[in-house]
Amino acid sequence: MINITIDGHVGSGKSTLAKGIAKALNFKTFDTGAVYRSLACAFREKYTEVNEENINEFIKDIKVQIKFENDLQHVIVDGEDFTPYIRTEEISMLSSVISPYQVLRDKVTTLQRDFARVYNCVVEGRDIGTIVLPDADVKFFITADEKVRAKRRFEQIKDKKDSPSFEEILKDLRERDYKDEHRAVAPLKPANDAIIIDTSDMSLEETIDRCVNIIKEKVSLN
């Protein structure tokens, strides 16, 4: 199977890019952040405090499945689909607090590797090129200036009720970048063989085209 990995900073547009590449190549996408987010929702239903004991108990017998409905990815945790609830600010923060726990990452890593074994796919997250799929065919590391990323996010949500200010979004983004890059387990960093793409001055279409061309140069798609 052909495996493409996309890692990168919060709000760098990894998910949209992954979908664009997958559409161009007729591959599947795997948004691995959605798994950590769904686990955060399930965790919050049972526990009020994040600590090693609670995480160990939570993850021990949990069953996580990935399903696609009309190409939309759903993560099912012990039979429950949290998809409508995973994009809130609270769950963004909680997922970044629970994701450094190794036992939890081991569970998600197994799921990701099983997926990549059976599909030509674009898998996006933080540690995909470095840890989850070190032998992937092409690895991208996507970034953009933090203010550009905050502005893009602000533009996406500014008309929604109670949407955060630009400054709040920037602060949250910095905090989450810091957590991702400085955690002891699976920190965010480019794999040695990753191609780094800074999208600060690039449109989504340009970024998709650049990535698809690189993939076509490196991989035989027939």
Backbone angles phi, psi at 180, to 5 degrees: -60, -40
Q: Of 25 and 173, which has the nearer Cβ to ligand DC?
A: 173
Q: Of 87 and 216, which has the nearer Cβ to ligand DC?
A: 87
Q: Of 184 and 217, which has the nearer Cβ to ligand DC?
A: 184
- Smallest gap from residue 32 Cβ to ligand DC (A): 4
Q: Of 122 and 180, which has the nearer Cβ to ligand DC?
A: 180
- Smallest gap from residue 30 Cβ to ligand DC (A): 10
> How large is the C-alpha radius of gyration of the chain?
17
Provide the 10 A C-beta neighbour count for residue 72: 8
Residues 189 and 109: their CA atoms lie apart, in Å, by 17
- Smallest gap from residue 209 Cβ to ligand DC (A): 23
- In sequence order, the 6+-apart residues with CB closer than 8 A to the CB of 38 are 64, 75, 76, 77, 82, 83, 86
Residues 67 and 83: their CA atoms lie apart, in Å, by 11
- Smallest gap from residue 220 Cβ to ligand DC (A): 27
**Pair 215, 25: CB distance under 8 Å:** yes
Rounded (10°) angle between helices 14-25 and 204-218: 50
Q: Of 12 and 208, which has the nearer Cβ to ligand DC?
A: 12
Q: Of 100 and 215, which has the nearer Cβ to ligand DC?
A: 100
CA-closest candidate to residue 17, choices 219, 215, 180, 157: 215
Which stretches of the chain bind ligand DC, using CB under 6 A? Answer: 10, 32-33, 36-37, 95-96, 99, 125-128, 176, 180
- Smallest gap from residue 207 Cβ to ligand DC (A): 17
Residues 136 and 123: their CA atoms lie apart, in Å, by 10
The upper half-sphere exposure of residue 170, i.e. CA atoms within 13 Å in the direction of its Cβ, equals: 8
- Smallest gap from residue 99 Cβ to ligand DC (A): 4
